[in-house]
């Protein structure tokens, strides 16, 4: 059995049984492995690629230019994890933007949102004084709802015991559920009846309905609506999309809400910091180790995994950082799973309308609508730049195009320029640009992405 590290290989002669194995060295898998190892377990993480990180990875796609290939901003990683794993000590350095959001408009105007209430009032007033008055109340309500969400995200999810259980396990399960639901009720009561009704309305309503109730300016609404459809194949008119508006304030950096930060060295630095915490806890991280299947006895008891190269890793506890579909449809033999469970996994909707474009540029992009008096990098360059988010109708039409099987004629783009704050990513004077672009159908009705001519059309 070969254990391959980042740059070296170590031959393990004896066949070792691990307390737990983790399939995939994405940031979630690394975090789980670290906590298990801190709890005293022997843990190995098996990563298919030569580099760790999964979606949180930095790679030099173009010589001299380093890109966060998939994820591109830091905010939703739970503060408790950052604190408990001491990620700052392990090299995680967050770079806060000067502004939070920048929307350039074709008519020459722009909306620049800041982490400052007074400046936001002046900016939004350019479009609507009524909206400028409403915006602090809107954010205040979302902050209030986020306290409930914080509780849910930090709590252990109540689970149903399956099969025969010992009395002590049954009592422990009942106690845990009682504590959870009691605290849940306490949070609901602290909101009050009106706020609780508004909270449920936000969770179930379309984004368009929520924002129409608060604002009148199309530019203001469209700028905020972009948060609710990011990464999805959903429309702003889709029921339930209003929930994602909470992401506008759920994320935080160093205790500050609604701050989506760049990471020095790119998003791979997040995974690298977690891996250092994992190694410190005793986790073994093995790259170039692709799992082909789980080894399961006829009795249904798992006893390890088999790699594509034939190596076996033994453990009775397997955690998978792969998708549910990859895990249960490709790694687990089908005869061990209930039919209704298999059917549910097969019908899981993974649709995403996103194309991630990474670009190297020879100079800092400029916007005709926003010429602030900064010699080089301005606050607008450090913000999340929203292109194609000038009106709710445009965003709705972009999604409808994709639903019809066509790439959006006027796509909605979330543009970031991480090199505006991080000089380690590109050569002097040059920059890296990320374009998170929607909507792109995975299987277009008028061609195929496998066709080079269609891709450049």
Asked if residue 47 lies in contact with residue 55, where contact means CB atoms within 8 angstroms, the answer is no
pLDDT tens digits along 167-198: 777 787 788 888 888 888 888 888 889 999 99
* Residues 377, 102, 426: CA angle, nearest 5 degrees: 35
Q: Say how far apart CA 255 and CA 94 lie, in whole Å.
A: 12
User: What is the greatest pairwise CA distance in the chain?
Assistant: 73
The phi, psi pair for 414, rounded to 5°, reads: -105, 110
Q: Say how far apart CA 402 and CA 445 lie, in whole Å.
A: 9
More confident of the two residues 277 and 13: 277
Closest CA to 211 of 289, 286, 131: 131
Instruction: Please determine, for residue 164, whether its predicted confidence score (pLDDT) is greater than 70.
Output: no
More confident of the two residues 13 and 414: 414
* Banded pLDDT at 215 (limits 50, 70, 90): very high
Query: Which tokens in the block code for residue 157?
Result: 């999810």
**Mean pLDDT value across residues 87-104:** 96
Q: Say how far apart CA 271 and CA 48 lie, in whole Å.
A: 15
Chain centre to alpha carbon of residue 257? 16
Instruction: State the burial class of residue 9 (Cβ atoms within 10 Å of its Cβ: 0-12, 13-18, 19+).
Output: exposed
pTM: 0.90
pLDDT for 456: 77
Helix boundaries (H) for 159-267? 167-191, 193-204, 207-214, 218-229, 247-250
pLDDT for 361: 97
pLDDT for 2: 31
The phi, psi pair for 267, rounded to 5°, reads: -65, -20
pLDDT tens digits along 406-456: 999 999 999 999 999 999 999 999 999 999 999 999 999 999 999 989 887
Query: Which tokens in the block code for residue 288?
Result: 């170039």
In whole numbers, what is the pLDDT of the chain averaged over residues? 90
**Mean pLDDT value across residues 311-339:** 93
Instruction: State the burial class of residue 382 (Cβ atoms within 10 Å of its Cβ: 0-12, 13-18, 19+).
Output: buried
């Amino acid at each position: 059995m070969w254990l391959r590290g980042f740059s070296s290989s170590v031959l393990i002669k004896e066949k070792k049984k691990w307390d737990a194995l983790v399939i995939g060295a994405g940031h979630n898998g690394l975090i789980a492995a670290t906590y298990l190892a801190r709890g005293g377990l022997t843990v190995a993480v098996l990563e298919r690629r030569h580099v760790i990180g999964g979606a949180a990875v930095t790679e030099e796609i173009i010589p001299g230019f380093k890109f966060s290939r998939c994820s591109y901003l830091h905010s939703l990683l739970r503060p408790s994890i950052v604190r408990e794993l001491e990620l700052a000590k392990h090299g995680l350095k967050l770079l806060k933007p000067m502004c939070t959001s920048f929307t350039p408009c074709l008519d020459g105007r722009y909306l620049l949102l800041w982490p400052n209430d007074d400046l936001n009032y002046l900016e939004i007033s350019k479009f609507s004084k009524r909206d400028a008055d409403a915006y602090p109340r809107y954010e205040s309500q979302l902050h209030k709802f986020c306290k409930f969400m914080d509780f849910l995200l930090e709590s252990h999810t109540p689970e149903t015991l399956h099969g025969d259980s010992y009395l002590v396990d049954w009592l422990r399960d009942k106690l845990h559920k009682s504590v959870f639901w009691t605290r849940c009720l306490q949070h609901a009561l602290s909101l009050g009846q009106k706020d609780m009704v508004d909270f449920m309305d936000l969770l179930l309503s379309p984004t368009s309905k929520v924002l129409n109730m608060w604002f009148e300016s199309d530019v203001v609404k469209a700028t905020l609506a972009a948060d609710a459809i990011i990464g999805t194949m959903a429309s702003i008119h889709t029921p339930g999309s209003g929930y994602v508006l909470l992401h506008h304030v759920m994320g935080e950096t160093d205790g500050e809400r609604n701050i989506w930060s760049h990471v020095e060295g790119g998003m791979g630095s997040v995974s690298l910091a977690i891996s250092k915490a994992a190694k410190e806890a005793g986790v073994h991280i093995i790259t170039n180790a692709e799992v082909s299947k789980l080894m399961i006895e006829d009795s249904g008891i798992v006893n390890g995994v088999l790699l594509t190269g034939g190596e076996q890793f033994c453990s009775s506890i397997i955690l998978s950082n792969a998708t549910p579909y990859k895990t249960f449809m490709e790694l687990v033999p089908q005869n061990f799973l209930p039919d209704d469970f298999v059917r549910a996994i097969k019908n899981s909707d993974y649709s995403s309308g996103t194309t991630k474009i990474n670009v190297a540029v020879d100079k800092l992009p400029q916007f005709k609508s926003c010429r602030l008096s900064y010699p080089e990098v301005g606050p607008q360059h450090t913000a999340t730049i929203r292109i194609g988010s000038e009106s709710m109708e445009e965003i709705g039409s972009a999604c409808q195009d994709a639903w019809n099987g066509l790439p959006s004629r006027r796509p909605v783009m979330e543009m970031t320029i991480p090199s505006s704050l991080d000089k380690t990513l590109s050569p002097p004077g040059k920059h890296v640009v990320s374009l998170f672009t929607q909507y792109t159908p995975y299987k277009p009705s008028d061609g195929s992405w496998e066709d080079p001519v269609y891709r450049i059309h």
